[in-house]
Amino acid sequence: MSAVPADVPGSQAWFDRARGVTPGGVNSPVRAFAAVGGTPRFMASGAGAWLTDVDGNSYVDLVCSWGPMLLGHAHPEVIEAVTRAIARGTSYGTPTTTEVELAAEIVGRTPIDKVRLVSSGTEATMSAIRLARGFTGRDLVVKFAGCYHGHVDSLLASAGSGLATLGVSSTPGVPASAAAQTIVLPYNDRAAVEAAFAEHGDAIACLITEASPGNMGVVPPEPGFNAFLAEICHRHGALFVSDEVMTGFRVSRSGQWGTDGAVEGWTPDLMTFGKVMGGGFPAAAFGGRSDVMALLSPEGPVYQAGTLSGNPVATAAGLATLRLADESVYAQVDDVAATISKESSAALTEAGVPHVLQSNGNMFSIFFGDLPPVRDYATAQTQDVAGFKAFFHAMLDAGVYLPPSAYEAWFVSSAHDDRAVQQVLDALPAAATAAARV
Ligand code: PMP
């Protein structure tokens, strides 16, 4: 096992410099290690399952860029596709063939009829909501506490991800009028959904949900919950928006819908995608029923646009990634996730650390503490963050890069080979002991 020294002078120097020019020294809050303390690692390179920081330390990466790197870092065929695309120029502001091929690949894997490409998951959910409002002529949006859909004004209420990590329930800068258009409900709570629709049904434009939440830790839908949501939306003339930015093309070839909707027989009206479909570049998408998508400019009146939307380099990376993501890739990712999650839980049990392991296919997370199964955000918030923090740092010191937050899913890739998995397994006993001492 290659131990990583606890002091990281290079990362510290860059962090100091970064804080002088960027708020908190980072361009996305959770990266700052605010919840776990210590020096955020400034990464210099990635290859396969591994990241190397500016001090030359290597880590097995269990973040995978928060989901996108399904094939691992610098996959040779993705790099080749990107290199070829870059040589042809980086942006034209015209239609290109690659974006059509990527759109076709997305439509081919999902139940949507049409898709529009954008540059971030935030843009995708923001645009889907505008479209739902335009289609229904209604304003209200229903979301669940602990679900994160990007930093869209109307979707930041009781959101997961960085807001959960930092304990922020609402943020200054969101007008009260925007927050008032959002109804926030507890996840997996059918009675709460029934009550909200009974009271506001004819004013609700859409309900948006993570297809299987991963931003309050992994909290899967109870069986039939998504089918119930689709049905109640349709009963009230609202649109059902399934956010698959995190799960899309990661938990299966067809994302969460492939293991859930395709089996249970429900179809979202709109879906959002990001992460894996961009192959590590800024690309995302929203799509859905053709009659809804037909309202989008220039076909219809609902405006949406982007200078870099469908960017030729990003779409080349995404297309190469999706074309490589065949059943063998998902089998490998599932297998590695099962091993790491099971062994992590076993090590914690062995050390006497109470915890709850929750999985949704190859996404998983561990809630530290004596908790019941976590079915909603309120329960997730009762976890023992101090236990996680001790575990996180012991893993980091042993060369394993976990998400620096107790509220995030752990991600693996098809490049996580035996050597990478073994380094994680070797690190577990000491990390579990560190958590036990808290
Ligand atoms: N929706 C979900 C489910 C997400 O997990 C995220 C990002 N973690 C987003 C939307 C926002 O995507 P982005 O960070 O690309 O704006």
What is the number of the ligand 1 atom nearest to the C-alpha of 120? 15
- Cβ neighbour number for residue 28 with a 10 Å cutoff: 11
Closest CA relative to residue 225, chosen from 186, 251, 255: 186
Calculate the CA 139 to chain-centre distance: 26
Q: For 206, list phi and psi in degrees, rounded to 5.
A: -160, 160
Is the complex ipTM higher than 0.90?
yes
Number of the ligand 1 atom closest to the C-alpha atom of 150: 11
* 120 C-beta closer than 6 A to ligand 1: yes
Which alpha helices (DSSP H) does 152-189 contain, by range? Answer: 162-165, 176-179
Mean pLDDT, residues 395-406: 98
For residue 194, the model assigns a pLDDT of 98
**pLDDT tens digits, residue range 105-121?**
999 999 999 999 999 99
pLDDT higher than threshold 70 for residue 130:
yes
Ligand 1 centroid–CA 60 distance in Å is 23
Q: Whole-model pTM?
A: 0.97
330 is catalytic: no
Whether residue 2 has pLDDT greater than 50: no
Ligand 1 contact via 210 beta carbon (within 6 Å):
yes
Asked if residue 407 has pLDDT above 80, the reply is yes
Q: Which of 53, 61, 260, 275 is catalytic?
A: 275
Distance, in Å, from the CA atom of 46 to the CA atom of 19, rounded to the nearest integer, reads 24
> Does the annotation count 417 as an active-site position?
no
Mean pLDDT along residues 411-427: 98
Structure-block tokens of residue 138 = 């209604």
Provide the 10 A C-beta neighbour count for residue 65: 17
SS3 content of the chain, % helix, strand, coil (to 5): 45, 15, 40
pLDDT per residue as tens digits for the range 131-156: 999 999 999 999 999 999 999 998 98
Atom 5 in ligand 1: which residue has the minimum CA distance?
Answer: 246
**What pLDDT, in 10s, does the model give residues 193-235?**
999 999 999 999 999 999 999 999 999 999 999 999 999 999 9
C-beta atoms surrounding 114 within 10 Å: 17
Delineate the domains of the chain, giving CATH numbers in brackets: 9-62+327-436 (3.90.1150.10), 76-324 (3.40.640.10)
Arithmetic mean of pLDDT over the chain = 96
Confidence of residue 160 (pLDDT cuts 50, 70, 90): confident
Ligand 1 pocket test: pick from 65, 148, 242 the residue with the most ligand atoms within 8 Å of its Cβ.
148
Instruction: Judge whether residue 83 has pLDDT over 70.
Output: yes
Strand partners, 128: none
Tokens of 324: 């490589």
- Residues 49 and 64: their CA atoms lie apart, in Å, by 8
Nearest CA among 400, 389, 337 for reference residue 53:
400
**Ligand 1 contact via 215 beta carbon (within 6 Å):** yes
Per the annotation, the verdict on 114 as an active-site residue is: no
Distance 349 CA to ligand 1 centre (A): 32
pLDDT above 80 for 3? no
Short-list 109, 47, 407, 414, CA closest to 285: 109
Distance 245 CA to ligand 1 centre (A): 6
46 alpha-carbon distance from chain centroid: 20
- CA-to-CA dists, residue 103 to 117, 318, 420, angstroms: 8, 10, 34
Q: Does 168 have pLDDT greater than 80?
A: no
Pairing of strands 239-244, 270-273: parallel
Q: Which of 5-14, 25-34, 167-176, 393-402 has the lowest mean pLDDT?
A: 167-176
How many whole angstroms from 146 Cα to the centroid of ligand 1?
A: 13
Provide mean pLDDT across the span 358-367.
98
- pLDDT for 1 equals 40
CA 4 to chain centre: 28
Reported as a single tens digit per residue, the pLDDT across 23-78 is 999 999 999 999 999 999 999 999 999 999 999 999 999 999 999 999 999 999 99
Residue 287 has pLDDT above 60, yes or no: yes
pLDDT at 416: 98
Rounded to the nearest 10 degrees, how much is the dihedral formed by the CA atoms of 399, 404, 410, 412?
-40
Exposure string over 233-245, b if 16+ CB within 10 A, otherwise e: beebebbbbbbbb
pLDDT at 325 over 70: yes
Q: Which whole number is the average pLDDT over 367-371?
A: 97
Regarding the beta carbon of 248 and ligand 1, being less than 6 Å apart is answered no
* Alpha carbon distance 218, 236 (integer Å): 29
What is the pLDDT, as a whole number, of residue 5?
55
> Helices marked H in 278-384 — which ranges?
290-293, 312-324, 327-350, 377-380
Indicate whether residue 244 lines ligand 1 (CB < 6 A): no
- Give CA angle at 52 (426, 417), nearest 5°: 45
The alpha carbon dihedral of 326, 331, 334, 339 has a sign of negative
**Residue 156: predicted pLDDT:** 87
- Name the residue among 422, 424, 399, 376 with its Cα closest to residue 190: 376
At 178, is the pLDDT very low, low, confident or very high (cuts 50, 70, 90)? Answer: confident
Comparing CA positions, the residue from 326, 350, 324, 331 lying closest to residue 425 is 350
Report whether pLDDT(6) > 70.
no
